Amino acid sequence: MIVRRVTRSKAISVEYSLTRLGKTIIAPLGGMCRWAKRYHRKVTADVRLPEAYEGQ
């Protein structure tokens, strides 16, 4: 879904881009973002830390 390309000019750099398949997820993610923007105040989360982290 993502292409990683290393370019070797004067300075080595890395470029990332979406494949054709990766581009097909843009519309569904956009819909999810619009939903989240609209309903974020109504959505809550109950976050619990694993026992290993309690008391640290």
Q: What pLDDT score does 21 carry? A: 97
* Cβ contacts of 6-14, under 8 Å, gap ≥ 24: none
Beta bridge partners of 16: 4
Rounded distance, CA 56 to CA 43, Å?
29
Q: What pLDDT score does 54 carry? A: 60
Please write the tens of the pLDDT for every residue from 18-47. 999 999 999 999 999 999 999 988 988 877
Q: What pLDDT score does 53 carry? A: 62
Q: What pLDDT score does 52 carry? A: 66
Q: Is the pLDDT of residue 55 over 80?
A: no
Q: Is the pLDDT of residue 56 over 60?
A: no
Distance, first Cα to last Cα, the chain: 39
